[in-house]
Amino acid sequence: MICNKCGANVPDVSKYCMFCGNTVSKLNYYNNDNNKTSLRSYYADADFGDERKSKRTAGLLGVFLGAFGVHRFYLGYTGIGIAQIAVSLVTCTIGGAIWGFVEGLCILCDTGITVDANGNDLLP
């Protein structure tokens, strides 16, 4: 079976991908080839879990650990998270801390980031 999220090979007996943790399932369907009905397998992403992130968690991570970009990594914005780490290293954590603190407050007040990297709205 192949995970539709990360493309890794997953054993047929597994319900979850070993690499990304995504829920996978094997769906069966019938296909009519030359007037013969044959059973074919189709592997699909059966992601039933709620992947939405919490606004409160992201905001508090930004306020307290914003210098390290933890809130950005939590929301899936890894590029900006790395940029915040770089700014923190260059400015001895002062610039990154101010940046993260302000973003954390904006997330908590619904004036900043309102979606994660996948476009899902943040949970209240």
CA distance 56 to 31: 48
Chain segment 16-41, per-residue pLDDT in tens: 777 777 777 665 444 445 544 444 44
Please report where in the chains the tokens 């369907």 appear, as a residue. 29
Whether 86 shows a pLDDT value over 90: the answer reads yes
- Quote the percentage of the chain above a pLDDT of 90: 45
The 8-class DSSP code of residue 48 comes to: -
